[in-house]
Structure 1
Amino acid sequence: GNFDMEGIIEASMIRDKEKVNKAKQDQQIVKWKQEIYRDIIKESKNLYDKYLNGDSPNSITNKKAYSATRITSSDESIIVAKGSAGAEKINYQFAVSQMAEPAKVTIKLNSSDPIVQQFPPNASGASSLNIGGVNIPISEQDTTSTIVSKINSLCADNDIRASYSEMTGELIISRKQTGSSSEIDLKVIGNDSLAGQIASDNGITFTTDASGTKSAVVYGKNLEADVTDDQGRVTHISKEQNSFKIDNIDYNVNSKGSAKLVSVTDTEEATKNMKAFVDDYNALMDKVYGLVTTKKSKDYPPLTDEQKEDMTTEEIEKWEKKAKEGILRNDDELRAFVEDIQSMFFGDADTIIALRKLGISEHENYNKKGQISFNADTFSKALIDDSDKVYKALAGYSSNYDDKGMFEKLKKIVFEYSGSSASKFAKK
Structure 2
Amino acid sequence: MSSISPIRVTGLSGNFDMEGIIEASMIRDKEKVNKAKQAQQIVKWKQEIYRDVIKESKNLYDKYLAPDSPNNITNKKAYSATKITSSDESIVVAKGSAGAEKINYQFAVSQMAEPAKVTIKLNSSDPIVQQFPPNASGASSLNIGGVNIPISGQDTTSTIVSKINSLCADNDIKASYSEMTGELIISRKKTGSSSDIDLKVIGNNNLAQQIANDNGITFATDASGNQVATVYGKNLEADVTDEHGRVTHINKEENSFNIDNIEYNVNSKGTAKLTSVTDTEEAVKKMKAFVDDYNKLMDKVYGLVTTKKPKGYPPLTDEQKEEMTTEEIEKWEKKAKEGILRNDDELRAFIEDIQSAFFGDGKNIVTLRKLGINESENYNKKGQISFNADAFSKALIDDSDKVYKTLAGYSSNYDDKGMFEKLKDIVYEYSGSSTSKFTKKAGMENSSSASQNVYSKQIAEQERNISRLIEKMNDKEKRLYAKYSALESLLNQYSSQMNYFSQAQGN
TM class by shorter-chain length? Answer: over 0.9
Whether 1:114 and 2:127 are equivalent positions in the alignment is: yes
Whether the aligned pair in 1 keeps the contact of 2:132 and 2:140 (CA below 8 Å) is no
After superposition, residues 159-178 of structure 1 pair within 5 angstroms as: 159-178=172-191
Whether the aligned pair in 2 keeps the contact of 1:120 and 1:193 (CA below 8 Å) is no
Q: Which amino acid aligns with 1:30?
A: V
Residue 389 of structure 1 corresponds to which residue in structure 2? 402
Whether the aligned pair in 2 keeps the contact of 1:394 and 1:405 (CA below 8 Å) is yes
Question: How many angstroms apart in 2 are the aligned matches of 1:4 and 1:233?
Answer: 109
TM-score scaled by structure 1? 0.96
CA change 1:425–1:119 in 2 (3 A) is closer
Q: Which amino acid aligns with 1:222?
A: N
Worse-matched range after superposition: 409-418 or 258-267: 409-418
Worse-matched range after superposition: 258-267 or 119-128: 119-128
Whether 1:372 and 2:412 are equivalent positions in the alignment is: no
Whether the aligned pair in 2 keeps the contact of 1:112 and 1:143 (CA below 8 Å) is no
Structure 1 residue 194: Cα displacement: 2.3
The correspondence for 1:147, drawn from 160, 168, 189, is 160
SS of residue paired to 2:143: strand
Question: How many angstroms apart in 2 are the aligned matches of 1:406 and 1:359?
Answer: 13
Q: CA RMSD in A?
A: 1.7
The correspondence for 1:354, drawn from 358, 367, 374, is 367
Question: How many angstroms apart in 2 are the aligned matches of 1:30 and 1:203?
Answer: 74
SS of residue paired to 1:186: strand
Question: How many angstroms apart in 1 are the aligned matches of 2:190 and 2:408?
Answer: 32
Residue 88 of structure 2 corresponds to which residue in structure 1? 75
Residue 247 of structure 1 corresponds to which residue in structure 2? 260
Whether the aligned pair in 2 keeps the contact of 1:92 and 1:228 (CA below 8 Å) is yes
SS of residue paired to 2:374: strand
After superposition, residues 11-410 of structure 1 pair within 5 angstroms as: 11-410=24-423
SS of residue paired to 1:425: helix
Structure 1 residue 7: Cα displacement: 5.8
Q: Which amino acid aligns with 2:87?
A: S
Whether the aligned pair in 2 keeps the contact of 1:78 and 1:259 (CA below 8 Å) is yes
Residue 459 of structure 2 corresponds to which residue in structure 1? none
Structure 1 residue 357: Cα displacement: 0.7
Question: How many angstroms apart in 2 are the aligned matches of 1:21 and 1:65?
Answer: 55
Worse-matched range after superposition: 187-196 or 230-239: 187-196
Structure 1 residue 361: Cα displacement: 1.2
Worse-matched range after superposition: 284-293 or 45-54: 45-54
Question: How many angstroms apart in 2 are the aligned matches of 1:12 and 1:26?
Answer: 23
Structure 1 residue 411: Cα displacement: 1.5
Structure 1 residue 316: Cα displacement: 2.5
Worse-matched range after superposition: 271-280 or 404-413: 404-413
Question: How many angstroms apart in 2 are the aligned matches of 1:310 and 1:197?
Answer: 88
Whether the aligned pair in 1 keeps the contact of 2:188 and 2:195 (CA below 8 Å) is yes
Q: How many residues align?
A: 427
Q: Which amino acid aligns with 1:144?
A: T
Structure 1 residue 346: Cα displacement: 2.2
Question: How many angstroms apart in 2 are the aligned matches of 1:302 and 1:113?
Answer: 77
Larger Rg: 2
TM-score scaled by structure 2? 0.81
Whether the aligned pair in 1 keeps the contact of 2:132 and 2:151 (CA below 8 Å) is no
Question: How many angstroms apart in 2 are the aligned matches of 1:350 and 1:124?
Answer: 81
SS of residue paired to 2:315: coil
Q: Which amino acid aligns with 1:292?
A: V
CA change 1:387–1:123 in 2 (3 A) is same
CA change 1:319–1:112 in 2 (3 A) is farther
Q: Percent identity?
A: 89
Unaligned regions of 5+ residues in structure 2, if any?
A: 1-14, 442-507
Worse-matched range after superposition: 299-308 or 134-143: 299-308
Whether the aligned pair in 2 keeps the contact of 1:333 and 1:425 (CA below 8 Å) is yes
Q: Which amino acid aligns with 2:69?
A: S
Whether the aligned pair in 1 keeps the contact of 2:431 and 2:438 (CA below 8 Å) is yes
Structure 1 residue 4: Cα displacement: 9.0
Whether the aligned pair in 2 keeps the contact of 1:121 and 1:192 (CA below 8 Å) is no
Residue 419 of structure 1 corresponds to which residue in structure 2? 432
Question: How many angstroms apart in 2 are the aligned matches of 1:310 and 1:206?
Answer: 90
Structure 1 residue 239: Cα displacement: 0.6
SS of residue paired to 2:436: coil
SS of residue paired to 1:427: helix
Worse-matched range after superposition: 104-113 or 178-187: 104-113
SS of residue paired to 1:221: coil
Q: Which amino acid aligns with 1:205?
A: T
SS of residue paired to 2:177: strand
